[in-house]
Structure 1
Amino acid sequence: MVKVGFIVCPQCGDMTWETKDFVAVQKGAGVFRDLGPAAVVGCIACAGCPGKRVVDRAKLLIKCGADIIAMSSCMSSTDSDENACPYYERILEELSKQLRSTIIIDCRNGVGA
């Protein structure tokens, strides 16, 4: 079974993203549909703006068994611009560049559940 680790925003006060993201992974829904049902191995904060130590944090998830790193929907919220991470693009780029052998999922297009 494929294992997913999430990068989350430490400032995100609304925790409903966990239910939505985790259910989507378990069902293989939304941006996770190509994976089929998968398991969540954990989630870890980026360490604060502007994504301090995000690559090191992603490596911890990989060490815990994550095959895929996903940016949580709390960071890419389309419901309100004030909730979206202003460093989202930069963080995605850095993860993709430094973790070339790991799949990085961009949840901006909707997690769905």
Structure 2
Amino acid sequence: MKLGIIRCMQTEDFCPGTADFQAIREKTGVFSQVTEEIILIGFINCGGCPAKKSVLRARELIRRGADTIAFASCIQKGTPIGYPCPFAKKMKDLIISDLPDNIRFLDNTH
């Protein structure tokens, strides 16, 4: 799996992605059923509210080799600040509708 992760721009000032990287390394959370090697292609934020840049960022991750796009848990679960993105559903729908058929989408890294 060649993975690109999109995270919340609002949390990046205080969250270095440690739990995301641990979930990849230990194959927990959304990665628990992944049997292949996971190669991280990129870790990027959504572009800020209202996430208009997220589709372009997903496209760029794919252009750079990602075959899977994942939302970091901060987007839909609101971790670690307890505030889920109010644009998460719309952002997810837009990205999924734009993805080529051969690209996987995963929710909540950990």
TM-score for the superposition, normalised by structure 2: 0.84
1:27–1:38 CA contact under 8 A, matched in 2: no
Aligned pairs, how many? 107
When the two chains are superposed, the root-mean-square deviation of aligned CA atoms in Å is 2.0
Matched, 1:23 2:8: no
Identity value in percent: 33
Q: Deviations over 1:84-106 (max 9, x none)?
A: 11111111111111114211111
Q: 1:83: how far off?
A: 2.4
Question: What is the letter of the counterpart of residue 104 of structure 1?
Answer: F
3-state SS, counterpart of residue 70 of structure 1: strand
Q: Relative to 1, partners in 2 of residues 1:79 and 1:26: Cα closer, same or farther, differing over 3 Å?
A: closer
Q: Which moved more, 1:68-77 or 1:33-42?
A: 33-42
Runs of 4+, deviation exceeding 2 Å: 76-83
Letter in 2 for 1:31: V
Tell me if 1:49 matches 2:49: yes
Q: State the partner residue of 1:10.
A: 9
Name the counterpart of 1:103.
104
CA contact (8 A) 2:78 2:85 kept: no
Structure 2: unaligned runs, 5 residues or longer: none
Q: How big is the shift at 1:77?
A: 2.7
The code of the aligned residue for 1:60 comes to E
Is the 8 Å Cα contact of residues 92 and 106 (structure 1) preserved in structure 2?
no
For residue 69 of structure 2, give the secondary structure of its aligned residue in structure 1: strand
Give 1:10 deviation, angstroms: 1.2
